[in-house]
Amino acid sequence: MISVLKSLLQIVRPYQWWMLLAAVMGFATVGSGIGLLVSSAYIIAKASLHPPFTELQLGIAGVRFFGIARGVLRYIERLVSHNTTFKILSKLRIWFYESLEPLAPARLMHYKSGDLLQRITGDIDTLENLYARVIAPPLTALMVSVLLWILMGKFSLMFSVTLFCFQAAAAVGIPLFTGYLNRGTASKISALQTELQTKTLDCIQGIGDLMLFNRLDDHIRKIHELKKRELALQRKQTLIQKSHESLTGLLMNAAVLVLLWMLAPEVSAGNINGVYTAVIIIAVMASFEAFLPLPDAVQHLEANATAGKRLFEIVDAQPAIIVPESPEKFPADSTIRFENITFSYPETSFPALSEVSFTIREGEKFAIVGPSGAGKSTITSLLLRFWDPAQGNIHIGNKNIRHLDPEVIRKNTGIVDRKTYLFGTTIRENLLLAKPDADDEELKQSLLFAGLGSFTAKLDKWVGQHGMNLSGGERQRMAIARMLLQNAPVIVLDEATANLDTLTEKSVMYSILELCRQKPAKSLLVITHRLRDMAQYDKIIVLEKGTIVEQGSHDELLKNNGLYASMWSLQHRLNPPELLTGS
């Protein structure tokens, strides 16, 4: 826990002066409350002796000053503390995202989306209490304790020592006791919230399948059970939390009784003016206001440590790829070479690719085909440096991609795969991801190329969460429009037309091929299992179980009568004589 908290404090260290200012303002607010009560007590006690009005002027001025100051300082304290909290929260969100991004997708593939969502939202939201309820209250209480030590010391050192003992019990004893009763509760709640988030997200995203197999009621029942367990733990926390104020009040009353017992002989002996008895007692009572939040601080400390631990579990992971300190520039030549590539996914016993070698020359139209699980999409992942191969090298131009910045590779590679992600915003904003400075004419042109001419007049149409207001084919064509707008020297289509009808597919592919023929020439890599218009590709390689089993042109592969010819026959239902002619 200590190491996690140290790491969190290191992250928010740039705001240390803001935190100190907020703590000082909190102390000033509590101090003004003490001053107001002490001044009032002085006036009431002094007035009972019927002194001249002039002797009450100091107390009256104190009441006016502290009465106004308390309200003003409370407002400033809230303003500064909330501003500090929001700065810290913003810093934590940016830190987590910047740490998370280099880990995707290799280091995040084992986490469920609900778990990641809980860490990104719930755990970071928990950390907003790091300053306001964990760091600030002990600092404020410490300053109030020092103030009362000085005030009590004016009358007697024993008064200061006695009060300090009761305050120490309120600052340490009660928090430790309630923390002991609450131990492990925060981590259990966090685990339940993660599981609840995962189950809820699974239910929303898979509601069709759950209804199809008549399992929706069972899934909802599990969600209710998890929520009941979470509420039970939260009730336990609340019950213990409600005891804080009562226990602190008991200590305050005990401190008052002990100090009264100590004051009585001093007042009787004339060592202390009786008027100050009320001042001392009221000051003691008011000072315990600063100690009320401390038991909660322990509870939030555990919750913050649990949330921080869950975040560091991810961000402390070593990225699957290493970004070079001085990356080379992206080459002008977009020729791609795979040289003896062997790669296995983590925790798998067989290679996804084994000694794969091929070359895609600049301007060449290249296709990779093969059955599902043959390793086709793995080639895309390696080219984009989501992973690095265990053996072999990949070159773009004359440069090893290990010497290039992965972000630069991805900016120069336009890719469309079968899973199109659209943000819950407008068509315009989704397209501008590819080219932020594009004007409306460029956006419309890309939509026309992708077969979405009807969208050119609807650039500000909201596409819905994940693009759910669009059909599957429209979402796919949006991704193609985004790729066209990117105008990258390398284009990769990974089952990009899987959701399109035949006529739209031909139209879109014609536009892409025309784009590749423009100057400067673009390298085109198409990964597909749908063998249509294959004669238009300069070269085709056939993958099976991670190995290249055939390569050549469409006609050559048909004449070989191998796996490619079998796939073609199955999809086109041609007779053997027609296969040989490639018709």
Rounded to the nearest 5 percent, the helix, strand and coil shares of the chain are 65, 10, 25
Q: Where in the sequence of the chain do the CATH 1.20.1560.10 domains occur?
A: 2-315
CA distances from 301 to 44, 138, 185, 195, 437 (A): 42, 12, 12, 22, 46
**Selection from 367, 388, 365, 403 nearest residue 516 by Cα:** 365
Quick one: pLDDT at residue 82?
85
Q: Where in the sequence of the chain do the CATH 3.40.50.300 domains occur?
A: 327-412+490-583
Residue 360 β-bridge partners: 336
Quick one: pLDDT at residue 579?
41
CATH architecture of 2-315: Up-down Bundle (1.20)
Find all residues with CB under 8 Å of 445, minimum gap 6, and list them.
Answer: none
Q: For the stretch 400-419, what's the b/e string if a residue is b when 16 or more beta carbons lie within 10 angstroms of its beta carbon?
A: ebbebbbeebbebbbbbbbe
Residue 325 β-bridge partners: none
**Interstrand relation of 539-544 and 365-369 (parallel, antiparallel or unpaired):** parallel
**Selection from 135, 124, 88, 112 nearest residue 310 by Cα:** 124
Taking the CA atoms of residue 381, residue 387, residue 390 and residue 396 in that order, the dihedral angle to the nearest 10 degrees is: 60
Quick one: pLDDT at residue 394?
94
Rounded-to-integer distance, Cα 3 and Cα 562, Å: 60
Quick one: pLDDT at residue 119?
81
Note the pLDDT tens digit of each residue in 199-229: 888 888 788 888 888 888 899 999 999 999 9
327-412+490-583: CATH topology is Rossmann fold (3.40.50)
User: What letter represents residue 95's amino acid?
Assistant: W
User: What letter represents residue 40's amino acid?
Assistant: S
Quick one: pLDDT at residue 225?
92
Find all residues with CB under 8 Å of 124, minimum gap 6, and list them.
Answer: 89, 92, 93, 96, 307, 311
Which stretches within 269-421 are classed as H helix?
275-287, 294-315, 376-383, 406-411
Rounded-to-integer distance, Cα 161 and Cα 450, Å: 80
Q: Which residue, chain included where needed, has tokens 């609840």?
A: 196
**Selection from 382, 137, 106, 392 nearest residue 248 by Cα:** 137
Quick one: pLDDT at residue 379?
92
Note the pLDDT tens digit of each residue in 509-551: 887 887 787 777 788 999 988 888 888 899 999 999 899 999 9
Kindly state the tokens that stand for 375.
């390793």
Find all residues with CB under 8 Å of 227, minimum gap 6, and list them.
Answer: 196
Give the phi and the psi of residue 525 in degrees, each rounded to 5.
Answer: -115, 120
* Burial class of residue 189 (count of CB atoms within 10 Å of its CB; 0-12, 13-18, 19+): buried
Quick one: pLDDT at residue 575?
43
Rounded-to-integer distance, Cα 295 and Cα 133, Å: 10
User: What letter represents residue 465's amino acid?
Assistant: Q
Kindly state the tokens that stand for 459.
């650039």
Quick one: pLDDT at residue 1?
67
Give the phi and the psi of residue 400 in degrees, each rounded to 5.
Answer: -70, 130
Mean pLDDT of all residues in the chain?
85
pLDDT digits (tens), the chain, 583 positions? 677 778 878 888 888 888 888 888 888 988 898 888 888 888 888 787 778 877 778 778 888 888 898 889 889 988 988 888 888 888 888 888 888 888 877 777 777 777 777 788 878 888 877 777 788 888 888 999 998 898 888 888 898 899 899 999 988 888 888 878 878 787 788 888 888 888 888 888 788 888 888 888 899 999 999 999 989 988 888 888 777 778 888 998 999 999 889 888 888 887 888 788 888 888 888 888 888 888 877 777 777 888 888 888 888 878 888 888 889 999 988 899 999 999 998 878 788 999 999 999 988 999 999 888 888 889 998 999 988 898 999 999 889 999 999 999 999 999 888 788 888 899 999 999 999 999 999 999 889 888 888 888 889 889 887 788 888 888 888 988 998 898 889 999 988 877 777 777 787 788 788 778 777 778 899 998 888 888 889 999 999 989 999 999 999 999 988 899 888 888 876 444 444 444 3
Quick one: pLDDT at residue 368?
93
Q: Are 335 and 360 in contact (CB under 8 A)?
A: yes
Rounded-to-integer distance, Cα 510 and Cα 355, Å: 33
**Selection from 304, 403, 356, 391 nearest residue 549 by Cα:** 356
Kindly state the tokens that stand for 393.
């090298």
**pTM as predicted:** 0.69
